Amino acid sequence: MELKWLIDFIALVEHGSFSKAAQARFVTQPAFSRRIRSLENWLGVGLVDRDKYPTTLTPAGEAFVEQARQMISQTNAVRNQMQDMASEREQLVIVAQHALAVSFFPAWMTTLEALTNGALVKVESGNLHDNVEAFLSGNGDFLLCYASEDIFSQLQREDVETLQVGVDRLVPVSAANTAGEPILPVPEQGTLKVLGHPAQSYFGRLLARECIPHVPAQLKLHLACENALSEALKSLVLSGYGIAWLPLSLIRRELEQGQLVQLDEPLRSLDLSIRLYRLRRPACHAADQFWHYLQELYSGT
């Protein structure tokens, strides 16, 4: 039996359909269905009544829900205990969205270092899809990311706690010339060369929903390059290759030094919420204490 089968089953219970659960688990529906079938084969009973629509659990499936949750929690707790025993120091594992690991986390953790009680802070950065998957699978004490409830609804669970720990802003920028003006100004009409975030990435989905639809019809955005790393897009913008929407925290120094300039209307900017997430499950003492301190610190946000 594999732990991911249990997590898949709980995802199916929470999302109510194979297609939505598969999407939340970042696998194809056929692969997801095979994993549920593998769990049923291991248990020796059917968990899902496949003759009914919408998705309905069998009596055995209903009875297994709470047991599956407990098995996931206990397995993660045992792993954490073994990891703590293998280390002379307690560890705080923070799964962080790559842009925040580079721009926000260093100053934030420097300020909060006293709250870690000497624990070893480990940061595991990556794209948000992988981060959410790792976090919900128990591979980390905390998830640090930009938040949008409707884009990552799988974080809206009863066993997930969250605190807003910062704010940011996604702004369109261009490299600046010696006069402090954009090398690529926004024309009233014509074509503007854009460096984009992948369509399925967090920023890509946010821009497609909130910014791109509001660009005037007479202004054509030409997508010249895509990159999932905001730092890579920043380098391309600085080279004059195109304009891009980037987190303000990542480009503040370049804006202050006059290397970049923020573009105005008709291109929109977006406010961003930075949140820390935690699963309600057994954790090491350092993680519990750190969360308690943060709750007191950010209780008014």
Q: Give yes or no for residue 295 having a pLDDT over 70.
A: yes
* pLDDT at res. 300: 62
Do 83-167+273-297 and 169-270 agree at the fold level?
yes
Distance between CA 287 and CA 301 in Å, rounded?
A: 21
* Amino acid at residue number 15: H
pTM, whole model, 2 decimals? 0.69
For residues 145 and 273, what is the distance between their CA atoms, to the nearest angstrom?
8
When pLDDT is cut at 50, 70 and 90, the band that residue 201 belongs to is: confident
What the block records as the tokens of 51 is 């003759």
In one letter, which amino acid is 172?
A: P
Q: Residue 230 to residues 150, 157, 275: CA-CA distances in angstroms?
A: 22, 29, 18
Q: What percent of the chain has pLDDT over 70?
A: 96
Of the options 3.40.190.10, 3.40.50.300, 3.40.50.620, 3.40.50.10890, the CATH number for the domain spanning 83-167+273-297? 3.40.190.10
- pLDDT, residue 177, reads 94
Cis peptide before 54 (omega within 30 of 0): yes
Structure tokens at 129: 């899809």
Q: Where are the beta strands (DSSP E) in the chain?
A: 48-49, 56-57, 91-97, 120-126, 142-147, 160-175, 190-196, 219-226, 244-247, 260-262, 270-279
> Within 113-215, where are the H helices?
128-136, 202-210
> What pLDDT sits at residue 272?
94
pLDDT tens track for 216-270: 989 999 999 999 899 999 999 999 999 999 999 999 999 999 999 999 888 999 9
Taking the C-alpha atoms of 183, 187, 190 and 196 in order, what is their torsion angle to the nearest 10 degrees?
60
Q: Domain 169-270 has what CATH class? A: alpha beta
Residue 170 has pLDDT above 80, yes or no: yes
Would you state the pLDDT for residue 157? 82
Buried b (16+ CB within 10 A) or exposed e, 90-114: bbbbbbbbbbbbbbbbeebbeeeee
Judge whether residue 74 has pLDDT over 90: no
Q: From the centroid of its chain, how far is CA 84?
A: 26
* Confidence bin at 1 (pLDDT 50/70/90): confident
Mean pLDDT of 161-180: 94
> Which run of H or of E encompasses 7?
helix 3-15
Which residues share a beta bridge with 192? 221
Please tell me whether the peptide bond between 266 and the residue prior to it is cis, using omega within 30 degrees of 0: yes
Both tokens assigned to 1: 């039996």
Domain ranges for the chain: 3-82, 83-167+273-297, 169-270
As a whole number of angstroms, the distance between CA 64 and CA 36 comes to 13
Is 1.10.10.10 the CATH number for 3-82? yes
What's the maximum distance between 2 C-alpha atoms anywhere in the chain? 73
pLDDT at 179 over 80: yes
Q: How many residues in total does the chain contain?
A: 301
Q: Whose structure tokens read 């949008």?
A: 148
User: Mean pLDDT: which of 22-31, 84-93, 173-182 is highest?
Assistant: 173-182
Above 70 in pLDDT, residue 84?
no
Residue 301 has pLDDT above 60, yes or no: no
Segment 5-48, tens digit of pLDDT: 999 999 999 988 999 888 888 888 899 999 999 999 999 999 99
pLDDT at position 75 is: 85
